[in-house]
Amino acid sequence: MTKRQQRLITWIFRVIAALIMLQTLFFKFTAAPESVYIFSKLGMEPWGRIGIGVLELVASILILIPRTIAFGALLGLGLMSGAIFFHLTRLGIVVQNDAGELFIYALLVFISCLILAVVYRAQLPGLFFKTKHDHL
């Protein structure tokens, strides 16, 4: 696989993860009935809905910034792990007759973020520790 092909493939995963998370923000931040229902059922309304929305916004931005892809992917992995967990334990795969759409989106973001975290894992030490190649 050439560098160009690898860049294209990772861009696809970056766009999938960021777009899905960004698209759901409208529903979280406008208190759409579906979103309020989900977070009420989890006992996290409204603070959980708004807090998760802010974290998804941060994860999306970090995924789109080349230097912080891995950190955004890890944040996205954590967020989607929670979403998948709650779908499997409290919400069900199908929520309010959505045919499992939200669950599928969570899986797509999780898989995309997992791939990005693996591909860009070399970024992680640079985010937390100064390396000899960093400049002030």
In-domain check, residue 21: yes
Residue 16: domain span:
3-128
CA angle, corner 98, sides to 91 and 20, nearest 5? 90
Cα dist. 73→25, 33, 136 in Å? 17, 28, 26
**Residue 100 forms part of a structural domain:** yes
Q: Is 15 contained in some domain?
A: yes
Confidence label for 1 from pLDDT (cuts 50, 70 and 90): confident
**Count of the separate structural domains present in the chain:** 1
pLDDT surpasses 60 at 133: no
The answer as to whether 133 is a domain residue is: no
51 assigned to some structural domain? yes
The confidence score (pLDDT) of residue 128 equals 64
Determine, yes or no, domain membership for 50.
yes
pLDDT digits (tens, 9 = 90+) for 14-40: 999 999 999 999 999 999 999 999 999
Q: Taking residues 76-104, what's their average pLDDT?
A: 98
pLDDT > 90? residue 125 = no
List the one residue out of 3, 121, 12, 132 whose CA is nearest residue 73. 121
| Residue (of 92, 112, 93) closest to 21 by Cα position | 112
Of 54, 52, 71, 51, give the one whose Cα is nearest residue 63. Answer: 71
Average pLDDT of the chain, as a whole number: 94
Distance CA 70, CA 53 (A): 19
Classify residue 134: in a domain, yes or no: no
Q: Read off the pLDDT of residues 64-79 as tens digits, 9 standing for 90 and up.
A: 999 999 999 999 999 9
Q: Give the number of residues written for the chain.
A: 136
Q: What is the mean pLDDT of residues 56-65?
A: 98
Outline where DSSP puts E strands in the chain: none
Enter the DSSP assignment of 42.
T
Residue 60 counted as domain residue: yes
* pTM (two decimals): 0.91
